[in-house]
A and B are shown apart, each in its own frame.
Chain A
Amino acid sequence: MKNFFKRLSLVCVVVMVLSAALTGCAGGKKGDEPSGNVSEPTGEAVRGGEVVVGIQQDIDSLDPHLAVAAGTDEILFNIFEGLVVPDENGNVTPAVAKDYTISEDGLTYTFILRDGIKFSDGTPVTAGDVKYSIERCAGLLDGTPLVKALSIVSHVDIVDQSTINIVLSEANLEIIYYLTAEIIPASSQESGEIIGTGPFKLESYTPQEGITLVRNEYYWQEGLPYLDKVTFKIVASAESAMMELQAGSIHIYPYLTDDQANELAANFNIASNGSSVVQALYINNAVAPYDDVRVRQALAYAIDKDAINDFIFGGRGQLIGTSMLPDYECYVDGLGYEHDTAKAKSLLAEAGYPDGFDMEITVPSNYQIHLDTAQVIVEQLKEAGINASIKSVDWSTWLDEVYKGRDFQTTVCGIAGSLTPSYLLVRYQSTAKNNFVNYYNEEFDALYKKISTSLDSKEVTEGYRTLQTMLAEDAASVYIAVPPVLIAMDKTLGGYRFYPIYVQDMKYVYWTE
């Protein structure tokens, strides 16, 4: 982050050319070392072969710009690429573009297309395709931005056959991370074809069963991918995934529970990594009694995060005290509230609830970890005199009532972070559409507004820190943990890489003899 932002902030740097990966901690992720460690097999890498990956949920859309579920993005990552793509350190690295420059005022991004790059059907990628893709995301085609952050793109100009200018209406330090938006052929507007430039191409998709990808013959990176075919198969449950792993009908399963990981450790490669999800007891700040900061603080004191970590994540979760991932440079450690039932009780008494109150926790029933966490919370709150009950609802009801309708008291869920720290903070502006917790703090709003257009990286980082502290002090919600990702893999598979975002990158994966 430091280097990248520093360079931008120096006015004397007129043009910055990036040919390889961005150095430093771009986007705020503490780079340098890969986030997770996977032990590699000893054998030689073999070309070809087929791998079956177990997944939990059906994919929500095959349209890369419309897909929103993390579980879909991690698969589509193999089919589509943007001008730049994220790498395993959380930086961006050129893909469809071979390099790019940013103008002095931070408003114009100039991309040079990679020579000879082709879509998976063999047609070359043109400047027109890039223009179409970016305009589609930015809402310049029909006024509907598909990627919200790109709505600050004012126009896209084709300079020549391989040069594109993307012009912004306001400067934004983080926009480059959203230019990972997938490039699709302009012809797909008519044909609807699902084609990208990624290492694999779509072979077939069967709703509720799975999706099969085969190797893209025209992939630009020499020698990649290793595999001929990758199948993402939807498994019925975590338990059946385990049995399938043992029977060899799936080779990789990335969503193990702690108990399962321990059970499989002898025969499989097990690796763990942070999940980039902020799990919290999100509180509706606008309804009584939660509109009283003392009540929210009391909840925070009453909840024992260590116990939750123990019960649900086998101690592998990273505990947090604010809406930020510890992987980010700007993360403020040590925020939040230590478990202290007595303090919780006295705060409740102060707020006028010496005997506690009834509380409802709405939980999306398709997420077992949140449901389990809520059960532990109910027990912990009992000690502080709060009588909590769980209302489990299906995902679409949750979206409708809680996320959109804001008709709830509290909810346990996770919000997935992205490559930029702002993503986890922007939603706490009082005017934000996705401020479903109804957080309201004028200082927060003012500061966020100030730093969002700032080009001074130091100011931005400091601002992010202050914002996190505000959220913690106001106990906007009770931030619990970043749940771990536990993955089991066949011992003869190599090349699996962890990313700081949800991605199953299969292009480096190979079998050994």
Chain B
Amino acid sequence: MKYIAKKLITLILTLFLISVLVFLIFQVIPGDPVLSILGTEATEEKIESLREELGLNASLPERYFDWLSGVMKGDLGRSYRYKENLNEQMAVSRLVAGKLPVTLTLAGMSLLFIIVLSIPIGILWGGTKHKWLDALLNVLAQFSMSVPSFFLGIIVIYFFGLIMKWFTPGGYVSYKEDFSGYIQYMIFPALTVALPKVAMTARFLRNSIINQLNADYVRTAYSKGAGRTRVLFLHVLKNAMIPVVTFIGVIAAEIAAGSIVVEQVFGLPGIGRLLVSSISTRDYPVVQALMLYIVSAVVIVYFLVDVLYRYIDPRVEE
């Protein structure tokens, strides 16, 4: 309990720090949200009235505490850039809620790929006696870890999209319109996100298995006449998986935060793209909300992994 409380306090402090930082940073960056909305046609009157309307004329601390007290009440504020109708700006929560499912689907599907692919590969790799298989897998892993995600995305688009014609690059369909079409499309970006992580996780599992294979209890098991497969699956795997859970947790945190580049390559309307466009249009309320999401996603996933780790590994004590 004490541990959880401590972590929660750290989380809140971190979020507070980040929000202040973001607020300050956008004072330094050139560019003005009002100009960005009004474009080249802006007259002085128009600029001034919009500035007033968006509450940009208030002082910096005033604006910050307005925002903060809103967040406390669960109100993330309103976008500068997007309007609900002629009179009202769009609520940030609504805007983000529209994009979050895409990012979460991408993260969930990639995580699924990572777990489903890396664990069997890792076991095979760690358990194999063949030197050539070990070397082959190592080369493959090194290679996939060296491919930058945007290049991997381009390769996936070229191969599966243009050559095999399994999907239409850029032809993203909303989950509201056609759910199976949506999932079908998301497979490819998810694969792009997953592939290098599969390599990392499999390699991590392999090293973990090899470590365990050298442990005393394994020798004891062998001496009692247990076969290699039996030793591997009954004794080694359980222990070897413990550090891998943490490793996968770190990866989960990373992909839950969104993959800006992969969303860009595949034209996915997720939070990564929303963030990039909100930064470039200086839509601070949206940027603030997304930063909050990203940081909390990371910290919360870390926290869950920690708790899980305590649960599965009895050696860790409070």
Contacts and interface: CB of A to CB of B under 8 A. Distances in A.
Contact of B35 (A69, A145, A191, A404): A404
B98 A207 contact: yes
Q: How large is the interface on A (under 10, 10 to 19, 20 to 34, 35 or more residues)?
A: 35 or more
A306 B49 CA distance: 45
Interface stretch (B2-10, B265-273, B305-313): B265-273
Contacts of A60: 37, 39
B308 to A, nearest CB: 35
A239 interface: yes
Contacts of B44: 433
B272 to A, nearest CB: 11
Nearest to A434: B40
A396 B283 CA distance: 10
Contact of B170 (A63, A68, A235, A366): A235
A237 B43 contact: no
A395 B273 contact: no
B99 A208 contact: yes
B33 A244 contact: no
A142 interface: yes
A399 B36 contact: yes
Given A207-B90, A208-B277, A237 B170 contact: yes
Interface residues of B, number: 48
B216 interface: no
A58 B88 CA distance: 18
Output the residue of B30, B39, B99, B170 with the most chain A CB within 10 A: B170
B228 interface: no
A207 B98 CA distance: 9
Given A244-B168, A395-B280, A400-B32, A193 B85 contact: yes
B45 A145 contact: yes
A44 B198 CA distance: 55
B230 interface: no
Contacts of A63: 83, 86
Interface string B147-177: 0000000000000011000001111111000
Contact of A243 (B86, B171, B273, B274): B171
B16 to A, nearest CB: 27
B35 A58 contact: no
Nearest to A436: B40
B281 A395 contact: yes
Given A236-B267, A396-B282, A243 B35 contact: no
Contacts of B45: 139, 143-145
A146 interface: yes
B168 A243 contact: yes
Nearest to A238: B170
Given A247-B171, A249-B168, A62 B33 contact: no
Nearest to B173: A249
A243 B280 CA distance: 27
A395 B49 contact: no
A148 interface: yes
B33 to A, nearest CB: 7
B84 interface: yes
Interface in A181-239: 184, 188-189, 191-194, 206-209, 235-237, 239
A60 B81 CA distance: 7
B124 interface: no
Interface string B241-278: 00000000000000000000000001101000110010
Contacts of A395: 36, 280-281
A139 B43 CA distance: 12
B46 to A, nearest CB: 6
A183 to B, nearest CB: 13
Given A207-B82, A208-B277, A240-B171, 14 more contacts: A58-B277, A61-B37, A66-B38, A68-B39, A145-B43, A145-B45, A145-B46, A188-B86, A236-B170, A400-B32, A401-B30, A433-B43, A433-B44, A434-B40
**The 6 residue pairs across chains A and B that have the minimum distance between CB atoms:** A240-B170, A236-B267, A192-B87, A396-B36, A192-B85, A396-B31
